[in-house]
Chain A
């Protein structure tokens, strides 16, 4: 990692970029300079304005104020096509691939070589193959996106951008879906691209380790403003960066007490299950979790975690295997029965599975309790009791609002997740399944939720944590089970295991123990 060399005029310069949405500045007088051959990261929490800035650069938004210069010349980027003409290509966080089209069609879309509007197939494919050779991005051109791995889909997006002749490659959260192994490959690819002449790679992320590894320079955004612009040598530690992102010192190592786990509370044995497409995604999973323990499941999304979670909660029936709770076989029981036994579930997609955005806070907290005696009054729901309970609960869980009639959808991500936790945990469960509980949340909320989970652990609950965030898993779990292609490859102790070990297992490498 060297300092960026200062050559002639910078490749890209953004001056005083300001963009407001409904009066609030998402970008507030932002300055940015990129030079040829650099990998410049843009760091910030959710909502700091990173994606807005890049959307401006790629032509999806127009800035309210400010100017953009490319190669020293002032430009206006009014649409994605303008951006492409200027050599700017963005690889979006939410991949923009058409599932029913083949990879090569996805790559050339909008820029097809045609004769009388008929696509010249061979020519297109040859051109793509040349690019593949040059950068080493190999993907099956005739496949369709649903059958590809996340890594390959991302390669397709990158190829798309390269096909259009991009010199500035914007990568928006590119590593969030990759295994450590794939991440390495991507980093290598980026390095070779900068060497090859793809000049500058703004790299948007909130993952600090990736930033440290790759960047030649970086900008930290906070609440729409530039807080720091650093060169490689100035970057410093993860802690200092986190502090700049959030504005205050951030605790990275939480206060985790040593506990001796109790009896086995919950176990699954030999679970096999299919997903909604009929593919067998869970292929023989056996786990057990004890009282006062957090078992973390590490693995890239899509290796069976979701179906396993569904089986555990009783939402789908396993084709084979047993679910055992406190020694009893509950495989046949349904979700309702399991909840009665003390199961709590924090689902991974809070907006569609955790809360109902249109209903009020009061109603969302009532969910699950709405048939209980203390909330019903003969046949009707006792509104007064529901109100009181909601008010107590939001206070207890630090939710930033006092209006229980507000529709939940209007709250921030962190507050929404707090409501989910509030609802689930205030019923005093015995077993907690937390699926990606801090996904997409700001550092502050993450901290809070981690502390809650640790507190439950101290209260002798059994907690199963599914997460894509290896750091989170390593920090919270007493034991870590690595899942790959529907099987638990190995269960490692929480202390003393290295990231590399886990990373290898996540990618499928089996080590003889």
Chain B
């Protein structure tokens, strides 16, 4: 039996994974230090906007990716200030940021671009696996080693678990959390811009619906650990991609609308499974709590 079409299909589905995987890793980095931003959906959305904008204004895909990265960084700066420097409720701020960034993503795009714009340039890839895909793997590996082997990793873990302990050890909890939030946010922006530029090649409203939420849930489901997050995100990407493919080939006749919300459906199932099976909460203990030195 000829496996080539199956294998090439598998590769191309795998090539779609960076959206979820990179987003999940970005969220993991921020969460590990104790910062929880529920508005990450907006980081990704902003990334999609500025990705296409970058390609259109500067004429190159790399520019678009860079701009998406920077857009994510900008949003991260705002949310970092509001959640780290100020003791506001992270959940509420997160929603506020979500509203603003999601609205802005559409607003800025349609203000700046007149008609439907398609990215013409091709991007080098190996059977559908491009450099972003490999970068994602590299980033995950780097993250793992930093967290487990370096003193910076120790500081991050402490900041997320017991910021008081980090503080008396001389670690600046603010600085650690800022860095993690900025890095995470930028990766989210990059994921978004990658998706709009390279996968979909144009912008349409609400294109990344649900992926931000699913990424948050993936990290929770994977217990805030590097390898499980990576693998889970990879796996869910794969499932979603496969379902879309199968739809095309007409195997499992789910209505179009349901396909669109597959990320959410997976999310709920994940949550329920992890809740029923797992008794202990493995989130960083200080997650979501702003740190104030008494």
Does A touch B (CB under 8 Å) in the complex? yes
Give A residues with C-beta under 8 Å from B: 58, 60, 79-81, 84, 90, 92, 94, 96-101, 105-106, 109-112, 114, 117-119, 277-278
Number of B interface residues at 8 Å Cβ cutoff, please give it: 24
The docked-state distance in angstroms from the alpha carbon of A101 to that of B155 is 11
Contact call A81/B170, Cβ cutoff below 8 A = yes
A224 to nearest B CB, angstroms? 17
The docked-state distance in angstroms from the alpha carbon of A106 to that of B165 is 9
B36 to nearest A CB, angstroms? 17
Given known A119-B150, A278-B279, contact A101–B158 (CB-CB < 8 A): yes
The docked-state distance in angstroms from the alpha carbon of A117 to that of B147 is 11
> CB within 8 A of B171: which of A99, A106, A110?
A110
Contact call A117/B170, Cβ cutoff below 8 A = no
A22 to nearest B CB, angstroms? 13
13 further A-B pairs in the complex, CB-CB below 8 A; given A96-B169, A277-B279, A277-B280: A90-B168, A96-B164, A98-B157, A99-B161, A99-B285, A101-B154, A101-B158, A105-B154, A110-B166, A110-B171, A114-B151, A119-B150, A119-B151
B202 to nearest A CB, angstroms? 43
A interface, over-half SS = loop
A-B contact pairs, 26 of them (CB 8 A): A58-B168, A60-B168, A80-B167, A80-B170, A90-B168, A92-B168, A94-B164, A96-B162, A96-B165, A96-B169, A98-B162, A98-B165, A100-B161, A100-B284, A101-B157, A101-B161, A106-B165, A109-B155, A109-B158, A109-B169, A110-B166, A110-B171, A111-B170, A119-B150, A277-B280, A278-B279
Chain B contacts of A79 at CB under 8 A?
Answer: 170
Between B167, B168, B169, B170, the greatest number of chain A beta carbons within 10 A of the residue's beta carbon is seen for B168
Chain B contacts of A109 at CB under 8 A?
Answer: 154-155, 158, 165-166, 169, 171
> CB within 8 A of A118: which of B150, B161, B170, B280?
B150
The docked-state distance in angstroms from the alpha carbon of A98 to that of B168 is 12
The docked-state distance in angstroms from the alpha carbon of A100 to that of B160 is 10
Q: Which 10 A/B pairs are nearest by Cβ-Cβ distance?
A: A110-B169, A96-B165, A81-B170, A112-B151, A110-B170, A109-B169, A117-B150, A98-B161, A80-B168, A98-B162
Per the 8 Å Cβ criterion, residues 76-95 of B in contact with A are none
The docked-state distance in angstroms from the alpha carbon of A79 to that of B170 is 8
Chain B contacts of A278 at CB under 8 A?
Answer: 279
Chain A residue with the shortest CB-CB distance to B146: A117
Chain B contacts of A96 at CB under 8 A?
Answer: 162, 164-165, 168-169
Convert B153-196 into 0s and 1s, putting 1 for each residue whose CB lies closer than 8 angstroms to a CB of A: 01101100110111111110000000000000000000000000
Contact call B162/A97, Cβ cutoff below 8 A = yes
Chain A contacts of B293 at CB under 8 A?
Answer: 60
Chain A residue with the shortest CB-CB distance to B145: A118
Chain A residue with the shortest CB-CB distance to B293: A60
Convert B187-226 into 0s and 1s, putting 1 for each residue whose CB lies closer than 8 angstroms to a CB of A: 0000000000000000000000000000000000000000
Per the 8 Å Cβ criterion, residues 127-152 of B in contact with A are 149-152
Between A84, A99, A110, A111, the greatest number of chain B beta carbons within 10 A of the residue's beta carbon is seen for A110
Chain B contacts of A90 at CB under 8 A?
Answer: 168
B18 to nearest A CB, angstroms? 27
The docked-state distance in angstroms from the alpha carbon of A206 to that of B280 is 36
The docked-state distance in angstroms from the alpha carbon of A98 to that of B166 is 9
Chain A contacts of B285 at CB under 8 A?
Answer: 99
Chain B contacts of A99 at CB under 8 A?
Answer: 161-162, 285
Contact call B154/A119, Cβ cutoff below 8 A = yes
Chain B residue with the shortest CB-CB distance to A82: B170
The docked-state distance in angstroms from the alpha carbon of A94 to that of B151 is 24
B52 to nearest A CB, angstroms? 38
A420 to nearest B CB, angstroms? 25
Chain A residue with the shortest CB-CB distance to B285: A99
B170 to nearest A CB, angstroms? 4
A53 to nearest B CB, angstroms? 15
B200 to nearest A CB, angstroms? 39
Chain B contacts of A110 at CB under 8 A?
Answer: 155, 166, 169-171
A111 to nearest B CB, angstroms? 7
Chain B contacts of A101 at CB under 8 A?
Answer: 154, 157-158, 161
Contact call A100/B157, Cβ cutoff below 8 A = yes
The docked-state distance in angstroms from the alpha carbon of A119 to that of B154 is 9
B34 to nearest A CB, angstroms? 12
Chain A contacts of B169 at CB under 8 A?
Answer: 80, 96, 109-111
B264 to nearest A CB, angstroms? 31
The docked-state distance in angstroms from the alpha carbon of A501 to that of B73 is 64
The docked-state distance in angstroms from the alpha carbon of A338 to that of B157 is 44
The docked-state distance in angstroms from the alpha carbon of A118 to that of B280 is 31
Contact call B168/A117, Cβ cutoff below 8 A = no
The docked-state distance in angstroms from the alpha carbon of A97 to that of B170 is 14
Chain A contacts of B164 at CB under 8 A?
Answer: 94, 96
